[in-house]
A and B are shown apart, each in its own frame.
Chain A
Amino acid sequence: MSRAGSLAADGFAPTDPVRQARKTQRFRWLRTMPFIIRICALILLGFVLVALAAPVLAPVDPADQDLLGRLQPPVGFGGSWDHPLGTDQLGRDVLSRTLYGARVSLGVGLAGLVIGVTLGVLCGLIAGVRPGLVDDGLMFLVDVQLALPFIVIALIAIALFGSTLTVLIIVMGFAGWESYARLTRGMVLGTRKSQYVLAAEALGASSTRIISRHIMPNVIAPVIVLATFLLTGLILLESTLSFLGIGVQPPTPSWGSMIGEGRDYLNTAWWMAVIPGVAIMLATMSISLLGDWLRDVLDPTVRSR
């Protein structure tokens, strides 16, 4: 269902750590950020600010209904400035809901991402440095997760634990952790065989030291890039769960639930779904393009061209 979890495919082959080590160049690339990427970054920054400042920016409470003023169009399409982006099927202000929706959609996505990344990277690291039984066991868990249809997990988990934000975030954490685990493990295995790690081991460095000083730095970059890809998947996943009727509970607004509720109205009151739809599109496109650019910057084999 989700495209989350699947973006793992963009898998990184372990890159040569020696070339990777030439970190100094990285910042040059930050300075030469292309125009379009700058715009993406600005858009994202904007969304984050909006999410943080939603209570200040929103003209009215996003849950406030006005049944006699339902389905009012946005300004310019016959609507009034009372509701610049129109109202929904219960007369709630679409602008306020979109602003607050940024909070939930980006927040849930990020929180799910953090859970997934933490879980995945930890698993991958442990599997990578403890070959044998521990590695096999953890990779077996990854196999199980891959073979278990996510939709079944989501439906069962939400039926079991209720449809609260916390449950939603945890469920989303389970969408994609296995890709971080595989990625991290691959990177660790690649790095462990590199000359400098072998050298450090020969010099008697402790394994925690090796992990923190030599392995982690190599793992972080690709994980960050993968995370940008998966984040878009998670933001969309939230809307998919709304579509399936197991998303964010009303009256909490999220972009996904707004599109879910508004989809029946595309023909009559398009603003209900199109406005959060554009928001979600801008956000995910920006994250994707930014992620692609980050990968170019961080992946030395591409950078050298």
Chain B
Amino acid sequence: MELDKPMKLDMSRRNLLRLFGLAAGSLAVSPLLAACGGDDDDDDDSDDSGGESSGSQFEPTATTEPESPASTDAEETDDEGATEEQTEASSEPGPTATTAPAADSAADRPVLRVGVQGLPAGLDPYQELSNVGTRVTYSLFDHLLERDFIDGDPPGSGSEVLPMLAESWEREDDLTLVMNLRPGVTFHNGDPLTAEDIKFTFDRHLIDPVEELVDAQGYISTISDVEVVDDLTVRFHTAKPDPLLEIRLTSWATWILPKAYHEEVGIEGFAAAPIGTGPYKFVELRPDDALVLESHDGWWGGLPTAQRVEFRVIPETAARVAALVSGEVDIITNIDPDQVDSLDGASDVEVRSVPLANCHVIRYNTHHATMENKLLRQALNLAIDRELLVEALWGGRAVLMRGHQFQEYSGPIGGDQFNDERPYVPYDPDQARELLAESGYDGAEIVYRTAPSYYTFGAEAAQAIVQMWQDIGVNAKVEILENAYADGVEAIQVTNWSNSSFVADPDGAFWLRWGEPTASQRDFWTPENPRFNELGNMARETLDVETRFDSYQEMLDIWEDEAPGTVLYIPIENYGVRTNIDWLPYSFYYMDLRPKNLKING
């Protein structure tokens, strides 16, 4: 069975090699190699690799294109306060009739069609922070800096920091970072990118943000001020030293927005018709149906690979798989591990996988009368056979964890914060039974709440874990609710969750989700040991690697002892891809469709 199958990573590594091979034929090889060498050279002139693809294979798409029954819908979208440019672009009758002034090569680029399980209702990247949202907004917006995901180990996980909209950057002192912007960058509406846009972008969610942006604020809360030095220079100030500032700027809630346009249309108009500097520009969004993007031919990184990108909503897994195999779409997302085998047999189609920078987690509500018993929670944690879950449920493809830490803490961009001597989270049913007896647990019902399909195998793991708990004598049951995480915090006893690693450091994963200013400590848990928050607050303002390391290790000890939750494993994300598409999934949820990671062969 699945256990015998080779790791999917091999596939992606193969694919990576292919990417390299392709690139070798063009000049594009230089930035990639340069990146390998750890050189901060200006990269991304891989444009030529995108331009040469021919669209012959994609002729059939022409038949599906007239599909957008939505010339009317498009107009409706326009009403929502788009600029004139936008209106022109989207009210054009034929999807192929682009505004592209570019040469012939620009016109016969293929269309890329992606089958997704859902789309966000709006496209403000700061409001759509989940996997469904960032997956698509990453094609519309650029960061100041980016992580080199292609060169990571395993491929798809980020290694070092590369320039993006910022051409170069420098730490002036512990508290300031100066960034020099890339000249000649334009937004989709033709406006040039200036330092004012950068300041606006950060002020919007850092200084007294509207409610919709409060969530985004938490990701980069260390920044105290963004100062415009000149048109192409900005200075970032932090109140305390922030060792992670550069990496934060490659991650969530740092997508650069256009000041003038945003001020013109307002936050709601912007979500309806967004404009960024990214490789693809917005054409139309039909919620529950499709999102259509079009090449931003003037993208600073070169001509984007695809003429158009269509994200089509196909909620049912079976329908998504059928659409891929029959050639209706080129890539599909969210294939759960059990579907991988069905795709492996199909021709012209393969599964590409990546372990996410994310772990599945269980969270206990320690304020709940039944759950406030620490020994009980420790017993529950010890009763979970994570290895069995990984082997049997995930076919060995998910990754076990040494506590709440990610390997990438010690990767090329990590700050040596991974303790590879920390033991794997233990499984010991006998000790669990002892602790349970000791805890004085009276057989009260313990309900594990999960959504049916929000997390891959979320409901399956919940049922398996509940059985493990029953096996040690806990009266546990599963509750599967569509809106499991929408409300009723007080009523929750146990629920599943996931924690992402956003900046390859405990600060952007463990502390971000369990630290003092989080909902975890507000709603579910108050650390009995005050050291936890003291250490956490201290560590995030310290540049000394060892102090930080020791602090986080001690915090993990406290966390494991108090057991407000536990980690399960690092999940694998699977994409189905037609073999003529060279594209690599990243350990982040977003799909990178920039030319260096997308090549469509004829």
A contacts B directly (C-beta below 8 A): yes
Contact at A251–B463, with CB atoms within 8 Å? yes
CB <8 Å contact, A89 and B452:
no
Binds B, one of A125-133, A136-144, A263-271, A284-292: A263-271
Q: How far is the CA of A98 from the CA of B460 in the complex (A)?
A: 19
Question: Does B339 count as interface, using CB distance less than 8 angstroms?
Answer: yes
- Tell me, in angstroms, the Cα distance from A246 to B482 when the chains sit together: 7
**Residues of chain A lying within 8 A (CB to CB) of residue B464:** 65, 67, 90
> Could you tell me the distance between the alpha carbons of A267 and B341 in the complex, rounded to whole angstroms?
10
B338 near A90 (CB under 8 angstroms)?
no
CB distance from B358 to the nearest CB of A (A): 22
Q: Are B318 and A267 in contact (CB under 8 A)?
A: yes
Q: Decide if A67 touches B388 in the complex (CB within 8 Å).
A: yes
Chain B interface main SS type:
helix
Determine the residue in chain A with the shortest Cβ distance to B336.
A264
Q: Are the CB atoms of A89 and B389 closer together than 8 Å?
A: no
* In the complex with contacts A68-B388, A264-B336, A250-B478 CB distance below 8 A: yes
The verdict on A245 contacting chain B, using a C-beta distance below 8 Å, is: yes
Q: Is the CB of A245 within 8 A of B482?
A: yes
Q: Which residues of the other chain, A, contact B482 by a CB distance below 8 angstroms?
A: 244-246
In the complex, A244 Cα to B103 Cα: how many Å?
49
A242 to B: closest C-beta gap in Å: 10
How many angstroms from the CA of A102 to the CA of B389 in the assembled complex?
30
Q: How far is the CA of A36 from the CA of B317 in the complex (A)?
A: 38
Closest A-chain residue to B320, C-beta based?
Answer: A264
Query: Chain B, 317-356, contact with A by CB distance < 8 Å: what is the 0/1 string?
Result: 1100100000000000000101101100000000000000
A251's contact among B338, B478, B481, by CB below 8 Å, is which?
B478
| Residues of B448-500 whose CB lies within 8 A of A | 452, 459-460, 463-464, 467, 478-483
Nearest A-chain residue to B388, judged by Cβ: A67
- Check if A65 sits within 8 Å of B338, measured CB to CB: no
Partner of B339, one of A70, A90, A246, A268: A268
Is A159 at the interface (CB under 8 A from chain B)? Answer: yes
- The answer to whether A264 touches B478, judged by C-beta atoms less than 8 angstroms apart, is no
Chain A minimum-CB-distance residue to B395 = A70
Interchain CA distance A90-B392 in the complex, whole Å:
9
With an 8 A cutoff between CB atoms, is B393 at the interface?
Answer: yes
A89, A159, A244 pick with most chain B CB within 10 angstroms: A89
Closest to A71 in B: B338
Contact call A264/B338, Cβ cutoff below 8 A: yes
> Which B residues touch A90, using CB under 8 A?
460, 463-464
Residue on B with the closest CB to A91?
B392
Name the residue of chain A whose CB is nearest to the CB of B325.
A267
Q: Mark B160-198, 1 if CB is under 8 A from A, else 0.
A: 000000000000000000000000000000000000000
Q: What residues of chain A lie closer than 8 Å to B479, measured between beta carbons? A: 163, 249
Please give, as numbers and ranges, the residues of chain A lying within 8 Å of B480 by CB-CB distance.
163, 245, 249-250
Please name all residues of chain A whose beta carbon is closer than 8 Å to the beta carbon of B341 when the two chains form the complex: 268
A267 to B460, CA, bound (A): 19
Contact of B393 among A63, A67, A269 (CB under 8 A): A67
Q: Once the chains are docked, how many angstroms separate the CA of A163 from the CA of B1?
A: 35
Least Cβ–Cβ distance between A176 and chain B, in angstroms = 24
Task: Indicate if the CB atoms of A267 and B339 lie closer than 8 Å.
Answer: yes
Count of residues in A whose CB is under 8 Å from the partner chain: 24
Write the A69-85 contact mask toward B (1 if CB under 8 angstroms, else 0). 01100000000000000
A229-263: contact bitstring with B at CB < 8 Å (1 yes, 0 no)? 00000000000000011100111000000000001
Give which listed residue, A65, A71, A163, A268, contacts B481 with CB less than 8 A: A163
The reply to whether B317 and A89 contact each other, CB–CB distance below 8 Å, is no
Q: Which residues of chain A are within 8 angstroms of B339 by Cβ–Cβ distance?
A: 264, 267-268
- A251 partner residues in chain B, CB cutoff 8 A: 463, 478
Report if A67-B463 is in contact (Cβ < 8 Å); known contacts: A264-B317, A265-B338: no
Min CB distance, A5 to chain B, in Å? 23
Decide yes or no: A266 and B318 within 8 Å by CB, A65-B467, A245-B452 being known contacts: yes
Report the minimum CB–CB distance from B328 to chain A (whole Å): 16
Q: How far is the CA of A163 from the CA of B482 in the complex (A)?
A: 11
For residue B388, give the distance in angstroms from its CB to the closest CB of chain A.
6
| B-side contacts of A266, CB under 8 Å | 318
B392 touches A267 (CB 8 A): no
Out of A63, A71, A159, A267, name the residue touching B483 (CB < 8 Å): A159
Residues of chain B with a CB closer than 8 A to A249's CB = 478-480
- The residue from B342, B392, B459, B478 contacting A70, defined by CB atoms under 8 A apart: B392
Q: Which residues does chain A contribute within 8 Å of B316, judged by CB atoms?
A: 263-264
A168 to chain B, nearest CB (A): 13
Residue of B nearest to A64 (CB): B467
Bound-state CA distance A89–B391 (Å) is 13
Bound-complex Cα distance A71 to B464 (A) = 15
Q: Bits for A115-136, please: 1 = Cβ < 8 Å to B, else 0.
A: 0000000000000000000000
Q: Which residues of A contact B392 (CB under 8 A)?
A: 67-68, 70, 91
Expressed in whole angstroms, the Cα–Cα distance for A70 and B395 within the complex equals: 11
Assuming the contacts A67-B389, A68-B388, A245-B452, asked whether A268 and B342 have C-beta atoms less than 8 A apart, the reply is yes
State A67–B387 Cα separation when bound (angstroms): 11
Contact with A along B368-406 (1 / 0, CB 8 A): 000000000000000000001101110000000000000
- Could you tell me if B388 and A65 are in contact, using CB atoms closer than 8 angstroms? no
- Return B490 CB to nearest CB of chain A, in Å: 15
Roughly how many angstroms separate A70 CA and B2 CA in the complex, as a whole number? 11
Residues of B within 8 A of A250 (CB): 459, 463, 478, 480
In angstroms, how far is the closest chain B Cβ from the Cβ of A159? Answer: 7
Give 11 pairs: A residue, B residue, CB < 8 Å, sorted on A: A65-B467, A67-B393, A67-B464, A68-B388, A159-B483, A245-B481, A245-B482, A246-B482, A249-B479, A267-B321, A268-B341
* Residues in chain A within 8 A of chain B (CB atoms): 63, 65, 67-68, 70-71, 89-91, 159, 163, 244-246, 249-251, 263-269
Question: Residues of B with Cβ closer than 8 Å to A?
Answer: 1, 316-318, 321, 336, 338-339, 341-342, 388-389, 391-393, 452, 459-460, 463-464, 467, 478-483
A89-B338, A264-B338 known; 18 new pairs, CB 8 Å cut-off, are: A63-B467, A65-B464, A65-B467, A67-B392, A71-B1, A71-B338, A89-B460, A90-B464, A163-B480, A246-B482, A249-B479, A250-B480, A251-B463, A264-B316, A264-B339, A267-B321, A268-B339, A268-B341
What 9 pairs across the A-B complex have the smallest Cβ distances? Answer: A67-B392, A245-B482, A267-B342, A264-B317, A268-B342, A245-B452, A65-B467, A68-B392, A250-B478
